[in-house]
Amino acid sequence: MFTKDDGPAIFPALKSLFIGDIVISTTNYVNLITMCPVLEELFIRNDGDNPPSWIRFLDSYSLKRLVIHYHVPKYREVYEDKVMVIATNLTYFEYSGYVSRYYILSKMPSLVEAKLDLRLWESTICYDDDYEDGYLSVNGFNVIFGNTTFLLDDISRNVKTLHLSPHSLEAILFCCEYIRVFENLLTLSFESDKDKGWHFVPRLLKRAPNLQTLVIKGLIHRVTGRCGDVCPCLFRTKKHNNKVKESVSKKSCLPTLGVKVLEISGYGGTRREIQQMRHFLGNLKCLELVKIGVVQHVADNKYLRRNLLSLPRLSSKCNIQFF
């Protein structure tokens, strides 16, 4: 199908390509990418009932923007293999899919922005009572399938803006052996979910010494024994011998951060959300601007705003705006 003798099948000027759920051999897949010497944008999407067409390997030195959506849980066996991406000139990288056994990425010195949506294969609710930080292993083997260590390691070297889904917060927590310092990270954006915890958030914040902007979509999250010191939550373990033990309070990492801009969207003004905002405003000493996006269904918007504006602020330069 795609051979260099075919002539017209070579795309010398093609700069943007979308590959969906198509039937294509491994050889033709590799040839297709090879025959696009100036390709700058590649969108790969496998999320149907057909066997995945992407071969979990990509090699292109011209690519600047790469978006991969790889959701084929019906074919779990393909995730047993590694994912390998060689694209040294990427400026934007987006990956969405269930976690694979491990990842190999080339160095990406020009990477500016990355977006991750990584999903675990199994529930982690049985670990809600745990207080230990991070990667779980027994006899050197991860108790949760998948390893995101190298994926995060390669992204961390140069990325300036990082977006994480609520699933990613959980997947990286359980599948990442260590966190490299995000020396160049200026903006961190993550989304919350009532069924996913925040425990990975403080670990990441502590490894981002130059972070200036923190963007959070929704403040309500699952409270667990691994709930971190970015939130004021208290987790109660399951009853043992008719006794309930509260989690030990932790010293917040927020006062050590240099975050200047905090942006919250989906704010509803519930008691938990007010407590969370009090925690942020009372601990982020470098805050200059807080932007709040209020949900439309709030009945008394004026009261909500007055309530927020009355909260004490550690930073004398802090201004609150609503959008």
Average pLDDT value for the chain: 86
Question: What is the pLDDT at residue 297?
Answer: 79
**pLDDT less than 50: residues of the chain:** 1-4, 6-8, 131, 137-141, 238-248
Tens-digit pLDDT profile for residues 82-131? 999 999 999 999 999 999 999 999 999 999 999 999 999 987 666 655 54
| Phi and psi torsions of 73, nearest 5° | -60, -20
Question: What is the pLDDT at residue 227?
Answer: 66
Structure tokens of 294? 């209020």
Q: What is the pTM of this model?
A: 0.88
Question: What is the pLDDT at residue 249?
Answer: 53
Question: What is the pLDDT at residue 196?
Answer: 87
**Residue 92 belongs to what H/E stretch?**
strand 92-98
Q: For the chain, what percentages of helix, strand and coil (3-state, to nearest 5) are there?
A: 20, 25, 55
Contacts of residue 39, defined as CB under 8 A and 6 or more positions apart, other chains included, come to: 11, 14, 15, 16, 17, 33, 60, 62, 63
Rounded distance, CA 287 to CA 14, Å? Answer: 45
Residue extents of the structural domains in the chain: 13-259
